[in-house]
Each structure stands twice: as structure tokens, then as C-alpha cells.
Structure 1
Amino acid sequence: MTEPHNAGGATTGPEGPDAPLHRRGIKSYVIRAGRMTQAQSRGLEDVWPRLGLTLADGRQDLDSLFGRQAPRVVEIGFGMGNSLIEQAETHPDTDFIGIEVHAPGVGKLLDEADKRGLTNLRVYREDALAVLEQCLPEGSIDTLQLFFPDPWPKKKHHKRRIVQPAFVELIRTRLKPGGTFHLATDWQAYAEWMAEILDASPGYTNTAPAESAPYVPRPEFRPLTKFEARGERLGHGVWDLIYARSR
């Protein structure tokens, strides 16, 4: 995604272990108020009926949704959408689903997708956990992307981090066998948190080479955002992790 520390669009938190994750009460995001531009409003009003999806649409048949069989990538928390647009345009043979709760970002992405004539992109403006639980079939995703989620750096807020054991397990069930969960963060402490949780989660294998484990070098297929490029110039680190579903 294109903005640092986006919400991720998901809820986590305490409740009974059998409760749906999206009802557990503690949100990993905060809805930020923002003025809508004309282009963003156009995206939400004119393009949404064609590319937008809701929870009310229910469980998706992704082949029917896109009208073909193709690799499927889901990105949670795409911010203003520049990275996701670039991926969809660069990889026309892959289908992309973006999930974001912030209206300006959703509107901007839809407007840009329409201007570029993209047909391999769909968008949810919903809580990500609800989408995963209710709308995306098990074993249907080739790659799940979570780029620069809010790190909630204060210890008292760690419970708000989207990367939690139950979330990681939910992702695993939606990935195809061999499918990958790709995470990136510019907070080293959060990178360590992510690696610790995923390493302890059954059914995942870290794909990092031994010399850089648990992290992978930034893959060329992940677009470099303006925020990230600025951080690199200032000497800030970015950590990528890619785990594959092993069972």
C-alpha cells in the first residue's frame, strides 16, 4: 500500500475462541476523516457499481467474479492504492482484490482503475477479517499481501496489531497449498513480532534464504512506494517476510 501504517482494515481482540474474528471488538484500524477530491468521489459513485464488492455479496466464486481462471492476489490495507494499481496494470494475467476501509483511498483506486481500463481488480470497503471469513473461499488465494500495517508501537496497544495468531491461521486457510503470505513493515520491532508469530504458527514455512532469515530481500514485484523510497534515503529500514502455506 502507499501510505505508511495504514489500518489494515481488521478487528482483533478478546472474545470466545469460537467467535468470528471480526466480532472480537478491538480494531486494528482507526477511520481517519478526510476531504474527498472530485476524482475520489467519482470513483465511489461511478466506478463502484462495477468494481466494488460488499459483505452482502456473500461467498464469492472467484472464477465467475473475474470471468476466468487466474492467479489471485488479495491485499489488505492498500492505502491510496498506487501500489495495487501498479501491480494490476503490470500483471494483467493475475486477478487482484483490494480491501480498505478508508473512503478516499478506495475512491482514488477505483477512479484510477477506471482511467487505466483495468478489468483484473475488485475492491472491498469492509473490515478485512469479515471479508476473509464470509466472502473468500478456503484455498482460493495465491498470495495475501499486508504491506505497512499500523505497527501500534506502544506496548499497551500491541493487542491492536492485525498480525495475531488467529489472524495468521485465518489467512492460512484462505491460501492455496503453497500460496504465500507476504508482509512488509518499516518497524523492526513489528517485523520481529510478525516473524515470531508466523514461526510459531503451524502450516507455514518461511521462504527466506538462510543468509537473511527470517527476512527476504525486497522482491522486485513489490512496488517501491514514495514513503518507502523517502525512508531509504533517510536510512530507514524495511523488512519483508514471505511465508508459504505448507499444509
Structure 2
Amino acid sequence: MFRPQPERERPRDAGITTTLGFHRDPLLHRRSSGRQRTTRRANARPTRPHPQHRSALGRASPCRARARGGPIVVAEPSPRPVPVDLRELDGLNWPAVFGNDRPVELEIGTGKAAFLLRRAQAFPDRNFLGIEWANEFYKYAVDRMQRWRVPNVRMLRTDAAHFIRVVCPRDSLTALHVYHPDPWPKKRHHKRRLFQPAFVEAAVACLVVGGRWAVQTDHAEYFEIIAGLLRHHPALEEVPFDDPEFGVAGARVATNFEIKYLKEGRALYQLAVRRRG
């Protein structure tokens, strides 16, 4: 008679560990090229976010991220990043992450990070954090960041909605960029969309007074939902998408999706708002 074997307990640290450059931790793989190397343990790829995450920061960062998305990895173009266990830290401190107190811009859904890196090059006096959940695009973005050696950029792989609601410091973002978020067109999947009332409320709280939020999509129905949430929020006011006061005039950078969709002749829907004083 066949008897199923009891399921073995999953190791606490099961998951994907991403390492960059040389590490002081002997348990992590070393690679002299300075590029990332991803190692997977047997049956380790989580189908659902796992609470145990590690971070690779160039310096110790007080960043506690009890995130639902994982693994969380903040990467910088440093030849000697030091792994930091996010569970041992408390709160997120931008100066500790970037090494300075310059204004911080956040892009959610960086894709291959073309927009993020080019904008960071155009504005070296600002700090930029990119969040990307898709592992393929995240690894591509980190590799590109390493090769381009853009010093004012960090990358993070996590659930963006949870990061905004729980981790991101309030009144700390100069700008928020969300370009071509997944529209989840099927009605039964609408609950997976990024733009929900709770997310918008938390994102507004993360912006500084005068902070700008730019959104772009090619999905008309989703744009109507987004526009309704942002235009009717009492703490937001609509501003031109290319706002000279914000410093984007003459430094407009197109995303990969934008370039692709314009070539295909698709209509693009854009909206920018600013947090009221």
C-alpha cells in the first residue's frame, strides 16, 4: 500500500539569493567580475512571497522590510557590497541607502531600467530607486546598472504595493514614476492591479509636499480607473506631464514600452499630479 511521505519542513532561508561582486560572507558565492550571480537551491523558487529575505547593500542600511515580495535585494554599483539581513534592521533611512540626503525618486516597474538609468544620468544631484518584481527584468536591470556604473541608482526586487504601504518613509519621495503597470485586463484579475485606493493613499503619503507622480499606460480602461483615483484625491492636483518646474523639460526619457507601443501605433495615456501643500 502506497503511503505518502510527510512533507519535509522548508528551510527558513529557502529562496533565491542574489549576490553582487565580492562578499565578506563565505557562504555566498564570489565572483570577481562585479556582476550578479544568482544561485537557486533545490525546489527553492517560491510561488508565493516568502518572509525571509536578504539584502545586498554597499553599506549597512537600517531597512526593515517585512515584505510580501521577495527575495528583496538592493543593489548598487559597488565592487564590495556587504549582505545585510533586513530582518535585523528597523525602518528605512534614505541617507543610509544612498550615502547622502539628496532628493529621492522612485520608479515602480523598471523593466530593463532604460528610463531609470538615463534619468539618473540626466539628474546626478538626485537619488533613484527602482523596483521590479519580474526576476528576468530585475536581473537585466541590475546587470545594466553595474555596467553603466551609475552611482545614484539602487535596485530593489519586491512587491511594490507592500513597499509603498509598509516600508517607504512618509514625506520622503520627490517623485514617483509608474509607467505601463500591468493592466490585468480580465475582470477576475482586477484585484491584482497596482492602482487600488489603499495603494494610492499610501503613495500620496510617501510624497513630499510638491512631490510629483507621473503615470503612463496604453490601456484605456485602466487609465480611466487610475485617473479617477488620482484626479479626485483631495491631496493631489493635476500638473502637465512634461512639467518644466519639475525639471523634465529637455530631459524627457522614453521607456522601452513607450518606444515599442509608439512604433506599433498605440495610443498612450499620460497623467501627472502633484501633492498639494
> Does the TM-score normalized on the shorter chain lie above 0.5?
yes
Q: Is residue 138–residue 174 contact of structure 1 (8 Å, CA) maintained in 2?
A: yes
C-alpha distance in structure 2 between counterparts of 1:185 and 1:83, whole Å: 15
Work out whether 1:195 is the aligned partner of 2:216: no
SS at match of 1:177: strand
Residue 265 of structure 2 is matched in structure 1 by 235
Corresponding position: 1:73 with 2:105: yes
Structure 2 unaligned segments of length 5 or more: list them.
Answer: 1-33, 40-54, 59-72, 75-84, 242-247
Higher helix share: 1
**Which residue of 2 is the match for residue 153 of structure 1?**
185
Q: 1:123-167 CA distances to partner (integer Å, 9 max, x unpaired)?
A: 211111222233321100000111100112223322222111111
* 1:245 lines up with 2:238 in the alignment: no
Aligned counterpart, 2:56:
49
Partners of 1:44 and 1:166 lie apart in 2 by 36
Instruction: Please say if residues 161 and 194 of structure 2, whose CA atoms lie closer than 8 Å, have aligned partners that are also in contact.
Output: no
**Counterpart code for 1:234:** E
Name the CA distance, whole Å, in 1 between partners of 2:255 and 2:161. Answer: 25
Query: How far off is 1:58 after superposition?
Result: 4.1
**Structure 1 runs not aligned, ≥5 long:** 1-40, 210-217
SS in 2 for 1:49: strand
3-state SS of 1:178 partner: strand
Larger Rg: 1 or 2? 2
Distance 1:44 1:201, change over 3 A: farther
Aligned to 1:177: 209
Residue type at the aligned position of 1:203 = A
Q: Which moved more, 1:218-227 or 1:104-113?
A: 218-227
Alignment of 1:3-152 (within 5 A): 42-44=35-37, 49-50=56-57, 52-53=73-74, 56=87, 57-152=89-184
* TM score, norm. by length of structure 1: 0.71
Change (3 A) 1:220 1:166: farther
CA shift at 1:67, angstroms?
1.7
Deviating 4+ runs (over 6 angstroms): none
Structure 1 stretch 150-159 or stretch 219-228: which is displaced more? 219-228
Q: Distance in 1 between matches of 2:226 and 2:149?
A: 36
- Taking a change above 3 Å as real, the CA distance of residues 117 and 202 of structure 1, as seen in their structure-2 partners, is same
**Would the aligned equivalents of 2:106 and 2:177 in 1 still touch at CA under 8 Å?**
yes
Would the alpha carbon gap of residues 194 and 109 (structure 1) be closer, same or farther in structure 2, given more than 3 Å must change?
same
- State the distance in 2 between where 1:219 and 1:155 align: 38
Aligned to 1:223: 253
TM-score (norm 2): 0.64
- Whether 2:156 is the aligned partner of 1:163: answer no
Which of 1 and 2 has higher RCO (CA within 8 Å, sep 6+)?
A: 1
Gap change, CA 1:238 and 1:44, over 3 Å in 2? farther
Give the Cα–Cα distance (whole angstroms) in 2 for the partners of residues 127 and 44 of structure 1: 21
